[in-house]
Structure 1
Amino acid sequence: MKKIINRPDTVVVDSLRGLAAAHADLLRVIADPAQVLRADAPVRGKVALVSGGGSGHEPLHGGFVGPGMLDAACPGAVFTSPTPDQVHAAVTAVHGGAGVLLLVKNYTGDVLNFETAAELAAADGIDVRTVVIDDDVAVRDSTFTAGRRGVGGTVLLEKIVGAAAESGADLDTCERVARAVVAEVRSMGMALTAPTVPHVGSPSVELGADEMEVGIGIHGEPGRARTPLVGAEGIVTGLLDPILEDLPFAEGDDVLLFTNSMGGTPLLELYLAHGIAEDLLAARGIEVRRRLVGPYITSLEMQGVSLTLLRMTDELLEYWDAPVRTAALRWGC
């Protein structure tokens, strides 16, 4: 295992220390229990957004804390859910009097621990709502979850609902917008290599030089099938077709296309894949109104790509275009 770390058992703490140093104008980090908080939190009268999950998916979630997105992120150990006390502490820290919305990826540990934290916060008199995202079309059940996994759509969810909250929308509105995104977003990914968790020291799965895993999860868990490696056109088609069929998307739809690196894929290949996806969508009469390309929800150093499609409405477009200022995503500021 070759990694730029000191010790596997301190990798998350050490990384959070660097995040805090690099972006002190945007966020502050609490060490115990680990939380990444918006620098000006709590913002009085604003709905607070809290998310989180296992580390190793950076910039998700800590990189999306700041004006126009999250008020707090709870980083667990690598590929491990944050604990209820982390989430409860974050909710308490950022609650500004207008309620708190928890945005949770559909993994069993995340769902259970955020649910427990919500109950603790409710006992404190805080109005807490929870929205679970399950946008992965690859598999119904997997290693970490019952039901579909929450993957790339999480980034779009946090941006859009973050804009709604920043605009002054109340908790009911923020919850409605979040559920609208969940209903209209679908994703699927693939991998050429597997991630290596620092405290494990070896890849999560073994892929041959001429193999790829189609439908892989963001923790390196298995997908739909392990198949012979094909060219970029075949890879993109193999990801896009199941996404389009699932909702289904149709001619005349307006969409946001998010082409994501799983951590080890260079932009040269990522833009190549994105261009193919744009052409395939245009051939079906689906208009790409907005785009996002880059490593925004990763799986350590996994080499692979995921595609996410969100069917857009005028309201969602407005919130997507709204200003955002975080460590990893910013425009309009």
Structure 2
Amino acid sequence: MKKIINNPEHVVEDMLNGIVAAYPNQLKRIENTTVIARKDAPVPNKVGLISGGGSGHEPAHAGYVGKGMLDAAVAGEVFTSPTPDQVFEAIKAVNSGAGVFMVIKNYTGDVMNFEMAAELAEAEGIPVEKVIVNDDVAVENSSYTIGRRGIAGTVFVHKIAGAKAETGASLAEIKAVADKVVQNVRSMGMAISPCTVPQAGKPSFELKENEMEIGMGIHGEPGIERKTIQKADDIAEELTAKILEDIEINQDDEVAVLINGLGATPEMELYIVNRKVQEILSEKGIKVIETFVGNYMTSLEMAGCSVTLLKLDDELKELLAAESKAPAFRK
């Protein structure tokens, strides 16, 4: 295993301290926790927005902490859900009295631990609401989930719910817009090489030199098919087709596109995939309003990509375009 780390047992601790050291005027670490929060949290009279999950998906989730997006992110160990007490610390850190909204990816541990933390918060009089993101169209159930997995589409939920919270919206209004994003966002990914969890010291799965897996999860969960690697255009066509089979997007509808790298994919290759996705959508008369290409929700050093489409209306379009000061999503 070749990794630029100190001790495999301390990678999350070292990473969190490094994030705060990079953005000391914007971010702070809540003492004795794995929580990264806005420097000014809690923001008076504003609903606090939190998310989080296992580490290894950077820049998710701490990279999305900042004005216009999350108020705090809570980190678990690599590919391991944060504990309820750590999530509770995040809730307390962002609570200004207006309530706290949680964005949860649909993984069994995340859902259970965030919901347990919400119960602790409500017992102390902090109102909490949530949305569970399940944008992955690849598989219905997996080794980590009941129902569809939450993957890169979660970034759009962070952005739009965060922008709504910045307007002074109520907890109910933020939940309504977050639910709308979840209903209108779909993703699908693929991988051509595995990743290695530092504590494990060996790849999480094996792919032959000429193989790829379609529908691979961001923790290395199995997809829907393993086959000979194809050209970028064929990959883009397959991922986009699966998405469009699952959600009704018609001619003249407006969408946002996210071409997401899984950690080891050169931007060159992501842009090649994007070129074909844009061509497919143009041929169908679907209007692309905004496109994002890069590493937004990764899987350590896994090579591969995912495609995300978000169907827009006027409200979602306005909130997506709103200002963000988060380090990984500046607008």
For the aligned pair, the TM-score class normalised by the smaller chain equals over 0.9
Partner of 2:86: 86
* Counterpart for residue 106 of structure 1: 106
Partner residue, 1:223: 223
The one-letter code sitting in structure 1 at the alignment partner of 2:95 is: H
TM-score (norm 1): 0.98
- Structure 1 runs of 4+ aligned residues shifted over 3 Å read none
CA-to-partner distance for each residue in 1:94-140, whole Å, 9 max, x for gaps? Answer: 10111110100000000000000000000000110011010000000
TM-fit CA distance, 1:29 = 1.2
| Alignment correspondent of 2:32 | 32
Q: What residue in structure 1 maps to residue 142 of structure 2? A: 142
Alignment of 1:151-190 (within 5 A): 151-190=151-190
Q: Percent identity?
A: 53
Cα distance in 2 for residues equivalent to 1:172 and 1:40:
23
Contact kept, 8 Å, 1:106 with 1:148, in 2: the verdict is yes
Matched residue SS, 1:192: strand
User: What does 1:279-318 correspond to in 2, within 5 Å?
Assistant: 279-318=279-318
Pairwise CA distance, 1:202: 1.0
Show structure 1 runs of 5+ residues with no match.
none
Contact 1:197 1:203 in 2 (8 A): yes
Q: Please state if 1:243 is matched with 2:265.
A: no
- Conserved 8 A contact 1:13-1:31: no
Q: Count matched residues.
A: 331
SS of the aligned residue for 1:292 comes to: strand
Deviations 1:45-100, CA, capped at 9 Å, x for gaps: 00100100000000000000010000010000000000000010110111011111
Matched with 1:129 is: 129
Whether the 8 Å CA contact 2:189–2:304 is kept in 1: the answer is yes
Q: For structure 2, which runs of at least 5 residues remain unmatched after alignment?
A: none
2:118 is aligned to 118
1:213-257 Cα deviation digits (max 9, x unpaired):
100000111111101111001110110001001012222211000
What is the rounded CA distance, in whole Å, between the counterparts of 2:60 and 2:242 in structure 1? 25
Pairing of 1:248-267 with structure 2 (within 5 A): 248-267=248-267
CA RMSD of aligned residues (A): 0.7
The structural deviation recorded for 1:31 is: 4.8
- TM (norm. structure 2) is 0.99
* Corresponding residue of 1:96: 96
Letter matched to residue 167 of structure 2 = S
Q: Distance in 1 between matches of 2:140 and 2:32?
A: 35
Q: Read off the aligned partner of 2:27 and give its amino acid letter.
A: L
